[in-house]
Amino acid sequence: MSDFNRSRLIDWALRLYILLAFAFIFAPIAASFVFSFNVDRFPSLPLGGFSTIWYEAVANDPLVWEGLRNTLIAGVIVSVLATAIGFGAAYTDFRYKFFGKTFYVALALLPPTIPVVILGLAMLAFLSNVNLSGAIYSVIIAHVVMCAPFAMAIVRLRLSQMDPSLEAAAWNLGASEWMAMRHVVVPFCRPAIFAALFITMAVSFDEFAVAWFVSGLNETLPVKVLGFLQGQVSPRINVIGTFVFLASMTLVILAQILLMKRGGASTKTAEPVGDGL
C-alpha cells in the first residue's frame, strides 16, 4: 500500500487493539489454567497457594474416568467414520456432475449451521423413537452427522489442488478406477485425511450439547462438565478444561503441521504413482 494516508499512531492503536482482542479471547483459557492450580475452592484474587489437590480430586473421581472413556471411544470411532464419509462426499463433489448435486453438497455441509439445541432435540426424539438413544452409539451417530462436514471441507480443499488429469492418466496407463483411487487419489489426499481425522476428533471431544441430549446415562466428559457447571462452584472444571485443552491442541497442531506440508507434499505424493502401477 502507498505511504500516503498512513499514520503511525493509528497503526499502533490498531495493533494494540488486536492484542486486546486476543487478551479477551485467551483470558478465560489462561484463567482456567492458572486457577486449576489454586488451592481455594472459591476462585478470586489474590491467588491462594499452589496446589494439585484439584488434579487429585479429578484423578480419583470414577465418574470422570468413565466420562473420559466414553469420550475417547466416541471420539475415535466418530473421527474414522466422519472422515470416511467426508472423504467420499468430497471425492463425489470433485469428480462427478449429476442431477441434484446442489442438494447433495448442501446436505453434506449444512449440519454445523443448525443450532445444537435443535439438533439435540431432533436427534433425541428421533433416536428414542427407533430405540437408539441413551447409549454411546447415539453420541457417535450424532457426532458423525456434525463432524463429517468438517472432514468433507478439509478433503475437498486438498482435492481442489489435484490436477484431474492425474487420475485420467492412471486410467490411460491401465489402472482400474479402484487402483487409481488407491495409488493416486488417496496418497495425494493423505495429509488432508489425517488432518480431518484429528480435527473431527477434536470437535467430538468438545461437543457437549447434542451429547447431553442423546447420551442418557452414558455421559461423555464434556457432558460431565456441564453437570459440574450446574452444580456448585468446583475448580475441577478448570482441571478438566486444562486437560481437554492440551489434548485438543495436540490434535489441532498435528493437523496444522500436516496441512502446512501441503505445498511441499504435492510433488512428493505424486511419486508413488509410478511405483504402484
Partner 1 sequence: MPIIQSRKGISSRKSITVYGLTFSLPMLVWQLLFFLAPLLFLIALSFWSVRNFRMEPDFNPDNWVRMLGRSVFWEAYFRTLALAASAAVITSALAFPCAYGIAFKLSEAARRWAIFLMVIPFFTSYLVRVYSWQIFLSDNGIINALFAKIGLGPFGMLNSVFGTMVGYVTLSLPLVVLLQLFSLMFVDKTLIEAAHNLRCGRLRTVFEVIVPAAKVGLVIAALFCFILTFGDFVSPLYLGGGDPPTLSILITDTTKSGQQWPRAAVIALMMIATLLAVAFAAVSYAYRERGR
Smallest distance from partner 1 to CB 201, Å: 10
Q: What would you measure as the largest C-alpha separation in the chain, in angstroms? A: 73
The correct pick among 153, 251, 258, 265 for binding partner 1 (CB under 8 A) is: 251
The correct pick among 72, 76, 84, 162 for binding partner 1 (CB under 8 A) is: 84
Smallest distance from partner 1 to CB 43, Å: 5
Coil, strand or helix: which one is 39? coil
- Tell me the torsion sign for CA atoms 157, 159, 165, 166: positive
Joined together, the cell numbers standing for residue 193 give: 485425511
Nearer to partner 1, 88 or 276 (CB): 88
Distance of alpha carbon 104 from alpha carbon 100, whole angstroms? 6
Nearer to partner 1, 252 or 270 (CB): 252
Could you give the C-alpha distances from 86 to 91, 92, 122, 155, 196, in angstroms and in order?
A: 9, 10, 22, 7, 9
The correct pick among 85, 193, 195, 258 for binding partner 1 (CB under 8 A) is: 85
The correct pick among 56, 173, 177, 271 for binding partner 1 (CB under 8 A) is: 177
**Site residues (CB under 8 A) for partner 1, limited to 186-215:** 202-203, 206, 208-209, 213
Q: Does residue number 117 form part of the binding site for partner 1 (CB under 8 A)?
A: yes
Burial of residue 42, with CB atoms counted within 10 A of its CB: 0-12 exposed, 13-18 middle, 19 or more buried: exposed
Smallest distance from partner 1 to CB 182, Å: 12
The correct pick among 167, 183, 258, 259 for binding partner 1 (CB under 8 A) is: 167
Coil, strand or helix: which one is 251? helix
Reported residue count of the chain is 277
Q: Does residue number 154 form part of the binding site for partner 1 (CB under 8 A)?
A: no
Joined together, the cell numbers standing for residue 82 give: 466422519
Q: Does residue number 124 form part of the binding site for partner 1 (CB under 8 A)?
A: yes
Smallest distance from partner 1 to CB 70, Å: 16
Distance of alpha carbon 69 from alpha carbon 221, whole angstroms? 8
Region near partner 1 per CB under 8 A, out of 54-62, 72-80, 169-177, 265-273: 169-177
**Site residues (CB under 8 A) for partner 1, limited to 252-271:** 252, 256
Q: Does residue number 51 form part of the binding site for partner 1 (CB under 8 A)?
A: no
247 with 75: CB under 8 angstroms?
A: no
